[in-house]
Amino acid sequence: MEDEDGGSEEAVLVRRHRKEKKELQAKIQGMKNSVPKNDKKKRKQLTEDIAKMESELEEKHKQEVTDLSEKQGDETEVISVTNGVSGLDLGNNVPGQQMRVSKAQKRREKKAALEKERDERIAEAEIENLSGARHLENQKLAHILSQRQMQIKEIPSDGHCMYKAIEHQLKERDNMITLTSLRRQTAEYMLSHRNDFLPFLTNSTTGEMYTPDEFEKYCTEVANTPAWGGQLELRALSHILQTPIEVIQADVSPIIIGEEYPNSPITVLYMRHAYGLGEHYNSVEPLSVTPAE
């Protein structure tokens, strides 16, 4: 079912929920900035207040999802009846005459259908995760980070998330290596150390180790596309940067890649349930960020 704006009601609900979450995070950030770091009593109360606000918003969103599901269930029969009689008004049709649709119109319709399908899949994933694995994962990670006086730094889910998380961490150290450079250097390092990486890459169809051509294609995608990065790419980056990379997860102890290097680790979050359509990396930042002058 679509609403007045042309999108499915599920997609509209998810967009509004995202907006409300962003607004809440902005409000929380303001609250954090107003409490001194050294005031442990106020910071403890702040943590409790934030947890309550986040919980109340989650409950509100969950109830709205439930209400929408019930509403759609009530409307199913009406929609079916309407569709059943929609073909009766044929008085204006001329026998043998067909409407011609341009190729451009067909492309627009196909694109709109794909976008709608994607919005609906995202909406379904958001609904499924409101009180499920994603929520539990967020709670665990928030607890882990709070013990370090840290918080999640959200990174867009666009295929570049691992590299952008590393980029953010480097900027915090006044190292301005860009996403593009990180990808290029990673691909070049993997190609020049083929024997260290090739044995860990297999063809998903055959199960066989990548051929040299497949490995070169893989590295080309690392350099030039939004291909997702993982542990192999993190290993390459730790060597390139000569810095350990710590990967925090919700249910296991942190993993440190590149322990042989003496520098303080770069820290990223690996999240299995951040988005219903795939796994994700986020960065971290201090719990209280000093407001800009």
Identify the pLDDT of residue 160.
94
**How would you class 255 by CB atoms within 10 Å of its CB: exposed for 0-12, middle for 13-18, buried for 19 or more?**
middle
Q: Domain check: are 261 and 195 in the same one?
A: yes
Is 5 a domain residue?
yes
- Parts of the chain with a pLDDT under 50: 2, 4-6, 76-98, 290-293
Among 17, 61, 160, 161, the active-site one is 161
Do 114 and 27 share a structural domain? yes
Residue 261 near residue 243, CB atoms below 8 Å: yes
Alpha carbons 76 and 78: distance in angstroms, whole number: 6
The Cα 245–Cα 1 span in angstroms is 46
Range of the domain at 216: 150-286
Active site residue 158: yes
209's tokens: 């180790």
Question: What is the distance in angstroms between the CA of the first residue and the CA of the last residue of the chain?
Answer: 48
The helix (H) or strand (E) run that includes residue 1 is none
Nearest one of 127, 128, 104, 108 to 116, comparing CA atoms: 108
Whether 233 is covered by a domain: the verdict is: yes
* Residues 39, 117 share a domain: yes
Regarding whether 177 and 126 lie in a shared domain, the answer is: no
Overall number of domains in the chain: 2
17, 61, 239, 280: the active-site residue: 280
Residues 119 and 237 in one domain: no
pLDDT in tens, 67-86: 777 776 655 444 444 444 44
Give the pLDDT score at 195.
Answer: 95
Catalytic (active site) residue 161? yes
Pair (256, 212) in one structural domain: yes
219 annotated active-site: no
Q: Is residue 98 part of a domain?
A: no
Cα separation, 256 vs 263, whole angstroms? 12
pLDDT of residue 87: 41
> Which residue among 80, 97, 131 closes a domain?
131
* 201 and 244 both lie in a single domain: yes
